[in-house]
Amino acid sequence: MTTFLPATGTLPDSAAAPQAVLLDMDGTLVDTEGFWWDAEVAVFASLGHTLAEEHREIVVGGPMTRSAGYLIDVTGADITLDELTVLLNTAFLRRIEREVPLMPGARRLLTELAAHRVPAALVSASHRAVVDRMLRHLGPESFALTVAGDELARTKPHPDPYLTAAAGLGADPARCVAIEDTPTGVASAEAAGCRVVAVPSVAPVPGAPGRSVVGSLTEVDLPYLRALWADPVDEPLPAV
């Protein structure tokens, strides 16, 4: 079940944008995209298969079922999707038992949002067990709501995760900003109608109307997020 502190009602139309900030987890707030790849490489090695680096960019940021299914197809591994999902989650959870590095600027941004009472949601394609374990490193108090990939019938790149997060916060998706690191996550947030700040990790993300691209979260603060609504919707936002 999606975990959240229930909204007291829809935020008033007069509330300044962003009404809420919706943040991806792996590769955006925590430097773990490499951890997932390491887990995938190790699990497939135990099954007698070597994963080529060319597959990494394809599976990054995707839901577990899509990534795992793709890797089964390209390797021909003799394992079911359900069996592989268990192995991958177990390997990843074992890896994050040790300290997990936060992305540069992540802690400062979360602290700033809390200080200014801007609701934040964690919106991840990872399973609930992984999200809850990661909250130990991020701090559950940083988020009014968290959404995990295995709680929804459709996860990223579908809009459902971001629509669910906005609804749980009583916010209008069009007045929310989503922060993502992959094309899959960006597609999900934009399909939900959110403004997007992309912080690419493994795969490149180009600039586009309603989307800005930055090198790291150190470039993102609340004035930056508020300024996104100062740009006409049909004009591309700055890309670096």
Q: Give per-residue pLDDT as tens, 94-107.
A: 888 877 899 999 99
| 185: confidence class by pLDDT, cuts 50, 70, 90 | very high
> Could you please report the per-residue DSSP string of 2-37?
-EE---SSPPPTTSPSPSEEEE--BTTTBS-HHHHH
Mean pLDDT for the stretch of residues 164-188: 96
Distance of alpha carbon 85 from alpha carbon 187, whole angstroms: 23
Higher pLDDT, 100 or 7: 100
* Best-predicted range by mean pLDDT (10-19, 40-49, 141-150): 141-150
Higher pLDDT, 214 or 136: 214
Residue 63: partners with Cβ closer than 8 Å, 6 or more residues away: 125, 149, 155, 156
CA proximity to 120, closest of 142, 147, 149: 142
Query: Residue 115 corresponds to which tokens in the numbers above?
Result: 């200080």
Mean pLDDT for the stretch of residues 29-37: 85
Distance of alpha carbon 100 from alpha carbon 103, whole angstroms: 10
Query: Residue 149 corresponds to which tokens in the numbers above?
Result: 């990939």
Which helix (H) or strand (E) segment holds residue 214: the answer is none
Which pLDDT score is estimated for 234?
40
Which helix (H) or strand (E) segment holds residue 59: the answer is helix 56-59
Which pLDDT score is estimated for 8?
38
Distance of alpha carbon 81 from alpha carbon 11, whole angstroms: 41
pLDDT at 70 over 70: yes
